[in-house]
Structure 1
Amino acid sequence: MAGGELTSTYGTVVWDGIGTLRIRYGGTPLRTRLGERTVPIEALRAVEVTDAGLQFVLRDGADPLQSVTQPVELYEFPGVDRALAEEIARDIGQALVRRDVPATASTAWLVAPPPAPDRIEGRDATLTVANGQLTFEYHRSAGRKKKALGDPWSVPLADIADVEWTPAAGLGARGHLRITTAATSGVRPKPQHDPAAMLTRRAAEADALFFAARLLTRIRP
């Protein structure tokens, strides 16, 4: 197969027939902000075609954006032409075998994160990356529990073990960006009380997601 192009309600997927996917996102504000991303076949573990559509299954550790967005599936494409989807999936599957791409976790990032600033403002804090540290500057609205570790509170990037981003889900819900360190307790407070979390602004959720993905690549180069 020479390649193919699939149109979905969540964007367009172009397979070059050799070893590269180009995804032009659309359909939702977040996906539209993502624009176009390039995914090498080495980042894939499998391709599945279901009644819902086409889904790419990435290897763990291949895409920092996916690593921080577990509640949001960025590689599902509903509403595609099933016959063409099956043809592309079959061709990609054969390419995975030819290239002997392992199904194990990737030891390096294979998909670049979107550009992100070094500073982002949330509902209760502002986060800044500078001089090898992540600094939380809490807003006046933040309570005493939030400021328990100091205000501002800085943590070396080398001490950050993980980064997560959770979108706001439902009316009145609040999304958040949160880090985990070696000192993090197994039982965590709610994000609005957690010193290591920032409540995100609904209008800037994509910015928080991009910041989180970029931060993850800094702590796991």
Structure 2
Amino acid sequence: MTYGLELAGDNATWFFETGHLRIVYRGGLRASGLLKKLGERTVPDVAIAEVAVTADRKTTTLQLRLRPGACPYLEAAGGQLPDRGDPYRLVVPASNRDLAEHYGEDIRTRISLNPDAGLPAPRFLLAAPAVPCRIRGYDSNVSFDGRVVLFEPIVGEAHPQKQAAGPRSVPIGSVLGLDWATPAGGGGHLRLRTTDAPEYSLGPEVDPYAVTFGLGAGMTAESLPFAAAVLAAIPAQGQAEPPAVGPAGASLTATADEVVGAIRKLGELRDLGLLTEEEFSAKKAELLGRL
């Protein structure tokens, strides 16, 4: 639920809603392929560990740092995402530095209300990609229906040893973990550790439980969500609870306390000179209309 509190940047807009941040990513030719693929993300307050606000001459950046284990995408990526592909980074013009600092304080307040903010998450707190899903790699096609991961070597492209091994069907209960290497710099791959092969003893080009990717940043947008979907389904990892979804077209209402709190925040922005009186009045009327 949104109360008109938002911060727009070059790569996304952050909506400050009750109990969570909703991040809507921008499209366009210069946008990250991964962020365009994501569309938007909902980040529960309980998933946030800290926020950093930094500035240079041209821009101000807000960087969310989530609790370890909270997001299946970040866990699958293992720190390999570039800044422009980070789903939890917002870049705004330097002229909006005061506004960015204000929202940074809002996030810090949210973090302070969670006594477990400094601890690893016991399970994924953000939604995993939908299944079934499928990717075509350089040497194999791989599909996942939520229960089984199927590797199908491509004849004429896969290594002879991988072709000789033939298709491999891996029940998710047999998967112990995975390794995703970004295809952005070449040599990208996704491979599984299974109960049959608990260690990575073979290179990904010959490992029958692996798929390799050709060079190209665009493959990140395809392969990382696939890896995150598999990772989230591994029984030992735990899965995020599905978000509550209302009926299509249902109107959202707000409690009086929520509206009063949002109007108070808008008043703070007006008093800081970050909203005009006209903008404050318009947003206030919008909020009161939600009751």
For Structure 1 versus Structure 2, the TM-score category normalised by the shorter chain is 0.7 to 0.9
The answer as to whether partners of 1:46 and 1:58 remain within 8 angstroms in 2 is yes
Shift of 1:86: 1.6
Shift of 1:185: 3.2
The answer as to whether partners of 1:11 and 1:25 remain within 8 angstroms in 2 is yes
Shift of 1:33: 1.6
In 1, distance between residues paired with 2:194 and 2:99? 45
Give the secondary structure class of the aligned counterpart of 1:169.
helix
The answer as to whether partners of 1:113 and 1:213 remain within 8 angstroms in 2 is yes
Deviations 1:130-154 (CA, angstroms, capped at 9, x unpaired):
5833221111111134346x21122
Q: Percent identity?
A: 33
2:30 pairs with 1:30: no
Deviations 1:1-24 (CA, angstroms, capped at 9, x unpaired):
x774222222111222x4210101
2:176 pairs with 1:176: no
Residue 185 of structure 1: aligned partner: 199
In 1, distance between residues paired with 2:188 and 2:200? 21
Structure 1 gap segments, 5+ residues each: none
In 2, distance between residues paired with 1:188 and 1:79? 45
1:58 and 1:158, CA in 2 relative to 1: closer, same or farther beyond 3 A?
same
Residue 69 of structure 2: aligned partner: 61
Structure 2 gap segments, 5+ residues each: 240-291
- Bigger Rg, structure 1 or 2: 2
2:44 pairs with 1:44: no
* CA RMSD between the two structures: 2.5
Superposed, 1:131-170 pairs within 5 Å as 132-140=147-155, 141-147=157-163, 150-170=165-185
Shift of 1:188: 5.0
Deviations 1:154-193 (CA, angstroms, capped at 9, x unpaired):
22312222234333224xx24322222353435652x333
In 2, distance between residues paired with 1:146 and 1:184? 18
The answer as to whether partners of 1:116 and 1:207 remain within 8 angstroms in 2 is no
More strand by share: 1
In 2, distance between residues paired with 1:46 and 1:131? 32
Give the secondary structure class of the aligned counterpart of 2:162.
coil
Residue 128 of structure 2: aligned partner: 113
Shift of 1:116: 4.2
What is the TM-score when the length of structure 1 is the normalising length? 0.84
In 2, distance between residues paired with 1:130 and 1:20? 29
Give the secondary structure class of the aligned counterpart of 1:68.
helix
More helix by share: 2
